[in-house]
């Protein structure tokens, strides 16, 4: 990343005669070093961005070290509100320790530090330095034990990144964060919920329901791992409509199963679980996988998915069993109506996703 940073800044310098309204280098660079008792680093910003925010008429004025020193306090106040560091969810108060001009690169370099009582398990970096420029990017380097551990590019649409350290606190943070992420994904995923509900509408014995749930778990666990490890990654344009079709199929299968006289729901759950696993993987990748704890993050996310899934299965299966015990006719009608709703919802999502 350092050679890339130098190259881009040199290119920016070569384009220095470009008018301010045609920003030659809409990017900044943030280095974060994690130490035992503090975080520290550097922040390099382009003179055009700094001059714009400091209301300076000429960005070239910041080529002068005395001008940078005179505006250092104002620049520190500006950046303090746009760079947020959190250690295990708690905000760290960072402060500028120095500022200098980089006239050959049309940039200003700021050094900073943030005291910390210990090495955090999870470090969250939230950056939106120059909102006035929709194309602005911030290149982030995170160093742990003086080794480059993570590189990210943050933009207006993606302002946050989580970094998990290689400590025991970091591994625990990975576990808790990805379990919560798995539960959250199930909770906010109506297509996954409706697929599971559709599989449960016809009821059945406890062994039969366990077979259905286990088959779905096995299916999505396989493809979740394959996609996360970059072995197989079908495009979302195929997976998302396929998930919708799986819901249509479950609803239709429920309506037709009486005519066939056999229950193939475990096989349906297994086959379409493979499809849903790719959907889970897309969310997991967006969360940001820690390179040093890839297996743990994958396992933790899967555990979270299973917890969310178990909550749905227990509540829905219990409610349907209660209704079936009290009134078998009402339970049959509910299963029929529910299957129609499942099928229609799946069809709606299918046409929405291919449109």
Beta carbons within 10 angstroms of residue 151's beta carbon = 12
Per-residue model confidence as pLDDT tens digits over 113-161: 999 888 999 999 999 999 999 999 999 999 998 889 888 999 999 999 9
Per-residue model confidence as pLDDT tens digits over 72-98: 999 999 999 999 999 998 999 999 999
Q: Are 89 and 122 in contact (CB under 8 A)?
A: yes
The H-assigned helical ranges of the chain are: 2-14, 47-54, 65-70, 72-80, 168-187, 190-200, 206-228, 236-260, 265-287, 294-326, 328-354
Distance CA 71, CA 73 (A): 6
User: Is this model's pTM higher than 0.85 or not?
Assistant: no
Distance CA 288, CA 134 (A): 23
Distance CA 281, CA 62 (A): 46
Q: At what angle do helices 265-287 and 168-187 cross, to 10 degrees?
A: 130
Q: Which of 177, 168, 30 is nearest to 111 (CA)?
A: 30
Q: Mean pLDDT, to the nearest integer, of 222-236?
A: 87
In three state form, how does the secondary structure of 220-232 look?
Answer: HHHHHHHHHCCCC
| Per-residue model confidence (pLDDT) at position 116 | 87
Distance CA 302, CA 287 (A): 13
Instruction: Using alpha carbons, list the distances in angstroms from residue 58 to 49, 62, 66, 122, 322.
Output: 11, 8, 15, 40, 75
Write phi, then psi, for 42 (nearest 5 degrees). -130, 150
| Per-residue model confidence (pLDDT) at position 10 | 45
Q: Mean pLDDT, to the nearest integer, of 174-194?
A: 88
Q: What is the DSSP letter of 291?
A: G
């Amino acid at each position: 990343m350092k050679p890339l940073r130098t190259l881009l800044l040199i290119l920016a310098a070569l384009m220095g005669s470009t008018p301010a309204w045609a920003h030659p280098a809409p990017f900044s660079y943030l280095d974060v070093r994690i130490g035992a008792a503090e975080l520290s680093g550097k922040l390099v910003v382009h003179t055009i961005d700094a001059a714009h925010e400091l209301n300076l008429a000429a960005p070239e004025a910041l080529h002068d070290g005395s001008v940078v020193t005179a505006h250092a306090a104002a620049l520190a106040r500006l950046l303090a509100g746009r760079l947020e560091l959190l250690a295990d969810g708690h905000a760290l108060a960072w402060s500028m320790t120095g500022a200098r001009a980089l006239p050959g690169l049309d940039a200003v370099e700021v050094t900073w530090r943030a005291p910390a009582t210990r090495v955090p398990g999870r470090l969250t970096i939230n950056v939106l330095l120059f909102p006035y420029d929709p194309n602005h990017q911030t290149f982030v380097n995170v160093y742990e034990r003086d080794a480059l551990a993570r590189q990210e590019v943050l933009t207006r649409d993606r302002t946050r990144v989580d970094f998990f350290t290689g400590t025991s606190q970091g591994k625990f943070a990975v576990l808790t964060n990805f379990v919560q992420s798995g539960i959250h994904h199930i909770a906010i995923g109506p297509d996954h919920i409706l697929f599971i509900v559709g599989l449960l509408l016809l009821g059945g014995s406890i062994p039969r329901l366990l077979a259905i749930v286990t088959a779905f778990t096995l299916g999505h666990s396989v493809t979740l791992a394959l996609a996360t490890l970059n072995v197989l990654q079908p495009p979302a344009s195929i997976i998302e409509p396929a998930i919708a079709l799986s819901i249509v199929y479950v609803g239709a299968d429920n309506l037709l199963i009486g005519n066939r006289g056999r229950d193939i729901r475990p096989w349906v759950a297994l086959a379409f679980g493979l499809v849903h696993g790719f959907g889970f993987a897309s969310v997991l990748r967006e969360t940001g996988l820690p390179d040093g704890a890839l297996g743990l993050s994958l396992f933790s996310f899967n555990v979270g998915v299973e917890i969310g899934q178990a909550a749905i299965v227990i509540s829905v299966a219990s409610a349907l069993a209660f209704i079936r015990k009290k009134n078998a006719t009402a339970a049959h009608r509910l299963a029929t109506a529910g299957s129609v709703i499942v099928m229609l919802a799946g069809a709606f999502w299918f046409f929405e996703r291919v449109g």
